[in-house]
Structure 1
């Protein structure tokens, strides 16, 4: 990367920080804790300052704060917390001693600071956001109960600039500032989380129950001490700690939910317990279990339209899903504080997500495409897919902090593993037939109109059964340390920090495929081939008529009676197996200096990546398997600078310039390949282990004003200039693929860029008459615009511009809440505009597939029966918003899927 012209201010700040490590005549320390006066709960994110020295820091997650190396004397200690009164006290610092203080903060005009409920959740988040050096958005654990979110992904859709990608209506992947999930990084307790998915880096956060977390922090700008592998944002999940609370804490909830589409009742249980022993040892145990039976109805074309003089539909498929998902999450955490200068912790996580899915499908393909309302002859395929997938994530994180005389040392070692296992499953059992006089109505939600025999199981004959099994494993081990020193340059506070991190990651994928066909040659004939031998009841399908379902049991009976050795698909069972080793060595140096109200933070991070891939390809022309192993190294220097100017305690201006990277996904790097020959045409498909990492230069500006009580109004702008954008294309006929008719792979493209604006407004209304003081409003909107270029070969290199895939121009959230001592209500909405899913035809934008705009409304009502017992009612997807994707224009279906509403009723006990 070319960065020399931009480095001079960084070098100046680093030089200043380095010069500041000159020994000074410091002699004492101040240590303290800040709590809510009434509840005695610790307050995180409070601004603590020493007036005479212009030193300021924030209290950590357990309310503690540390001022090292303070010259002996008397000072004024000031504490400020949104929603609380400003606190001042005089403290005396002795030579070679530690001054201890405990701040009891009361509410500003209120009985006490509200540290629970909607007010408490917002107060916690906004205080931490205000105190941060970089641009962050924070969601506290208390906020989760204010929304009907069952996993971390769904909880994060409430954060400014964030939206989610759903699977079967449930939140799964996170998009930050409209950018695809693979462009964002996810860590838990400081350790990068591996992905159970075999082909990607993005972590499906529906694997993690929301009940296990303490907070989620989304950093939209990166400082040098953070991993650099993020374009949209870095998501840090923090699990529960006993020291987050002041005393024994118990939280138990039980819930039943009703699924409108299937009429199923589903149970959920969650519990957490934490306690502190002798003020030095803390234990937290949390568990969550949720078992959900539900379904969805789907109709899709996959973009198979022909757009000439008229619009002709070529393929349509109806799908009926029956789904069971079971989630189990367990976390056991330990904290040990042997003395006032040392903290140790052990964080553990076990999460299991079992997904059972049965899909009955009905696909029709017209000989020639037909217009709406026009009949034609179709080839019809009735199909069954039935599989169970278990995804697990396990994590161990051990670390600590030691506060020495002049330095603070943080250290951590972690190990995490994610697995995804699909035991032998029916990947496809297909029955085929042919019919005349079939038409469709409604190009957005195609409804098939067919003769009665179309729905008769005896009209269909078994053609093929595909059996599959697969497993994927992603293991990450890392070790890191950080050293920090605080001090003064003349009268200017400073800090210098440096550290290193080593991460070893291994991604493995294994797949086996069996294809059963030519059944008559294996003694299967007559009625055994008719679908009547496998059919069950009529499918419960709300988008038209689907016909009789196909049962899994008789399919398995047939498969188990046949010789599997004759059905092995050796090619597909080999080329999709791979191992990818990725080792990352990182080091950084950074420093900040406070010049009156301005803080300048600057530094540089270095990351060296060592990549090895192991896989196998198949060349049909040579009828042989070929090992394809690669090895390469690359490195990045990533400087950044952040400026933070406080017009007052409540008004903050931020500006930053920095660099980040995103490494290719594992499917893009996969070394397997397939070369096929058909009528003298050579076709190939393969991954590309030689891909460069995406590089981004990022500019951010923002201003935040924190209002009385709990409130903020903020505005920000960002611009990202991206190099080595990765996209899929056909290289057939070009360069070393000149003899290929098709060579489908991934390559680095031209530059891309994204520009955006973020606005947010949060306000409690404590200034209104008493009856209205419980109102709380939150709202945010992000506008962004991206531009990327893709290219293809057609009488020379041709190109066109597209938006970045999965990037919405508008993301918005809003909620209106009310709470008092007896009840709490919250109505919320999450919106994202349409975004590009897939480029079907490189040279024709009419075939680009977009997901349509989506708005989801949710509602929560709570009644406080006692100080410890709460009942609640939650409504999810109140307007029955479907998923809709279209081809080129919004009236041409690519996919339509509906899920229905979900109602949850529960009871919760929390000791106070």
Structure 2
């Protein structure tokens, strides 16, 4: 840790020449500061100030809000979002201290704050708690790629909690806030239009947004929407697995398969929102909002697997191989992923001159996540399986040389003909299968929230209540229903030949391989499947109900009733805020277990009541120095799929076995402390150092161990001694780190250099946990999922004469990408992203922009144990966008 700290300090010193802002604000109702009004010199603590002017103005307001905040917070304001090439809220949040992103196909999806698992961060949209149900409920982590950044007025990260914030946040709570129609008087139209391209494959990018608002002194209305679409290619190479070495010096083991993939992807985000606010007199406001966001992904898969471990003969190791008759399996699909959020909210805010405030919110939120991947697979056989040699001089890109396979006296052998291309029409169509992979999870949530406070001279007393009623129904991603479409198609009058969909168009790839491949027409293949499957179903050859087995399904109802009390004392230079939140949580967990091939309904109920105290102290030492200290307790509840009772139970073995969820899984709990020292520089600059520590109980990990409870008992059968393969609670873990942040505009420099500025941050992290002791054995020192021990962001900007230019770089070190357990896991290699943003204000109404992202053309690499054993290498290339922003 000392070495990392020293290295981080060195990076921070360098970054001080090119770094920037980490804005923040206190939790409260927004103030109404118009874009053309100056930022007030003084404001009540708790006001949100949104500045839509220049970078420096936005930075100044953000710094001030950080200074007056009750708790430790960071924020990205709307102007900061607009000056980065960020299409979704995950990308925008990654500019803030201690925030890293997880990408899918190169696109930002989840965030990880302070190196913690993404499930340890909770999310609200306009104060509405949102629960993630991504891809089968394997995690409660929220998908930020479903929320376009242009919908938001600000994004707040609460790194320390106060009692009015939901307790299900171990490291942070993120509040995504949309626009208020009373922010600006009169009629205003704001938007943008952009068009660009992806470097790999030259697929198009396009975006557009429009927000129209009107307001007078008492009434305001806003309507808006956004659209972003990209067409991209993704180069991908994977290794199925590596043989287990017989000893530490064994060099004869090698890869079991080479997986050659390219994806043709079309992704688009849409967002719609509307709001009405009425404030007849100052301090009395009623409002209503509606929000819809969606993420869509149409994905064509072109994939061939060289199944090295199934070769007829030959040798292979980590460095090279010489194999005879290696089966080649093709996998193709035209799949669909959808994630949608529907939010409706109404509320009222009431404030009196004697310091009393009341706020009420009623919300409905629905999240619907669906996936359908009709995967077609077929393999070569006999002499159609090519022979090959491979060279792994570069482990990331094995170079394969293909040869024909011949028969010598009935024994297959490598021929002498080198094949420059694999004949993709030689798959064994009779054995072609369809795996109709499906997933859907839907969450419906109703919430009511009431907050009351009374200011009494230097003391402010607060109390409130919260009720949430959620229903979650869905299934894990299911891949079990196999249909032999190659053999059955002709029997229903529609033959299916996988080889007929091969085109004459070669792959557009930047990865070396050693031979060439052509694209398959996945769209035509999907059309053929959509016609074929109803005929197979009518003939009794295919049952769509079997796509999702009952053991993968779950239906859960959870109810949370919470209340809190809080007091805040203003003791001149010291502000003390403390209180306690009590939450009563009830879960009804239903599903079906298959017990010795018999379906048996099971239901498990859980009820618990927890106290979550928190305290925050802010000490101002003079005009420029602020010190903070806070403590809190938080919780992270298990994912819906992880605790499902749906399972497959086999009582014929000794001991019996169970595969499925673990309804006995306990929540993860934490005690945590945070501290920071903040020095406010002249000219709206800031240097800050923050540190934190979290002690976490019941850390989730994967294992196979004895159930140890009665949750799977039925019909008088005791199954507490069965062996369950699932998620379990580990022993205590620790997560801790230091955050260094610097931001300033060099307004003290002579013109034209006074337009220079920078912002940046470095975070140094460490943390591990231990598993349970099982049969006398225990795994110690397992890294947390997603923990990079170093994260840093840096950007330099120049803003003057109508020009606004920014160069930004983000970097994170290696991290574990899978839930700990089973003795090993997949890790991800460090990477950095370089982005450039240019803006030129033509006049007060129009601004031209140009964005370039991922200019380093980064490769995203996963590996097993060491980089000598990569499991995935992926690249999407750079992307470019050009357009205009308008404001009337």
TM-score with structure 1 setting the length? 0.84
What is the aligned partner in structure 1 of residue 6 from structure 2? none
**Structure 1 contact 40–246 (Cα < 8 Å) conserved:** no
What is the aligned partner in structure 2 of residue 65 from structure 1? none
**Structure 1 contact 194–416 (Cα < 8 Å) conserved:** no
Residue 32 to residue 332, structure 1, CA distance change in 2 (3 Å): closer
Q: What is the CA distance between 1:529 and its match in structure 2?
A: 7.2
Match of 2:308 among 366, 379, 389: 366
What is the aligned partner in structure 2 of residue 476 from structure 1? 445
Q: Does 1:307 align with 2:303?
A: no
Deviations 1:881-908 (A, max 9, x none): 1111111112221110000010110111
What is the aligned partner in structure 1 of residue 273 from structure 2? 331
Deviations 1:662-715 (A, max 9, x none): 111112112211235999996531111221110000011101111122210000
What is the aligned partner in structure 2 of residue 134 from structure 1? 71
Q: What is the CA distance between 1:532 and its match in structure 2?
A: 2.4
| Structure 2: gaps spanning 5 or more residues | 1-28, 311-315, 404-418, 710-717
**Structure 2 contact 661–727 (Cα < 8 Å) conserved:** yes
Match of 1:811 among 783, 791, 794: 791
Match of 1:755 among 729, 736, 743: 736
What is the aligned partner in structure 1 of residue 860 from structure 2? 883
Q: What is the CA distance between 1:839 and its match in structure 2?
A: 6.1
What is the aligned partner in structure 1 of residue 198 from structure 2? 259
**Structure 2 contact 45–69 (Cα < 8 Å) conserved:** no
Match of 1:600 among 545, 552, 576: 576
Match of 1:541 among 490, 509, 532: 509
* Number of residue equivalences: 807
Match of 1:501 among 466, 489, 493: 466
Residue 458 to residue 303, structure 1, CA distance change in 2 (3 Å): closer
Q: What is the CA distance between 1:518 and its match in structure 2?
A: 7.8
**Structure 2 contact 146–293 (Cα < 8 Å) conserved:** yes
**Structure 1 contact 831–856 (Cα < 8 Å) conserved:** yes
Q: Does 1:516 align with 2:492?
A: no
Moved more, 215-224 or 301-310: 301-310
Q: Secondary structure at the match of 1:890?
A: coil
CA–CA distance in structure 2, aligned partners of residues 497 and 450 of structure 1: 73
Q: Secondary structure at the match of 2:63?
A: helix
What is the aligned partner in structure 1 of residue 156 from structure 2? 217
Q: Does 1:690 align with 2:664?
A: yes
Residue 436 to residue 40, structure 1, CA distance change in 2 (3 Å): closer
CA–CA distance in structure 2, aligned partners of residues 681 and 361 of structure 1: 40
Q: Secondary structure at the match of 2:662?
A: coil
Residue 830 to residue 876, structure 1, CA distance change in 2 (3 Å): same
Deviations 1:381-415 (A, max 9, x none): 11112212222111111112112456211111111
CA–CA distance in structure 1, aligned partners of residues 877 and 32 of structure 2: 46
Q: What is the CA distance between 1:535 and its match in structure 2?
A: 2.2
**Structure 2 contact 235–263 (Cα < 8 Å) conserved:** yes
- 1:110-509 aligned at under 5 Å gives the runs 116-197=53-134, 198-199=136-137, 200-277=139-216, 279-308=217-246, 309-310=250-251, 311-367=253-309, 370-377=317-324, 378-404=326-352, 405=354, 407-422=356-371, 425-433=373-381, 434-441=385-392, 442-451=394-403, 452=419, 455-462=422-429, 463=431, 464-488=433-457, 493-509=458-474
CA–CA distance in structure 1, aligned partners of residues 485 and 884 of structure 2: 57
- 1:9-24 aligned at under 5 Å gives the runs none
**Structure 1 contact 458–530 (Cα < 8 Å) conserved:** no
**Structure 1 contact 333–348 (Cα < 8 Å) conserved:** yes
**Structure 2 contact 49–61 (Cα < 8 Å) conserved:** no
What is the aligned partner in structure 1 of residue 542 from structure 2? 567
Match of 1:588 among 536, 560, 564: 564
CA–CA distance in structure 2, aligned partners of residues 194 and 243 of structure 1: 29
Q: What is the CA distance between 1:497 and its match in structure 2?
A: 0.4
Residue 125 to residue 32, structure 1, CA distance change in 2 (3 Å): closer
**Structure 2 contact 388–400 (Cα < 8 Å) conserved:** no
Residue 667 to residue 304, structure 1, CA distance change in 2 (3 Å): farther
Q: Does 1:627 align with 2:601?
A: yes
Give the structure, 1 or 2, with the largest relative contact order (CA under 8 Å, sep 6 or more).
2
Residue 515 to residue 588, structure 1, CA distance change in 2 (3 Å): same
Query: What's the C-alpha RMSD, in Å, of the aligned pairs?
Result: 2.8
What is the aligned partner in structure 2 of residue 69 from structure 1? none
Moved more, 373-382 or 742-751: 373-382
Q: What is the CA distance between 1:429 and its match in structure 2?
A: 3.1
Q: Secondary structure at the match of 1:570?
A: helix
What is the aligned partner in structure 1 of residue 818 from structure 2? 838
**Structure 1 contact 34–42 (Cα < 8 Å) conserved:** no
CA–CA distance in structure 2, aligned partners of residues 815 and 302 of structure 1: 39
Deviations 1:183-240 (A, max 9, x none): 1011011101233523121111111111111000000000111101011210001101
- 1:48-67 aligned at under 5 Å gives the runs 48=43, 57-61=45-49
**Structure 2 contact 329–377 (Cα < 8 Å) conserved:** no
**Structure 1 contact 253–909 (Cα < 8 Å) conserved:** yes
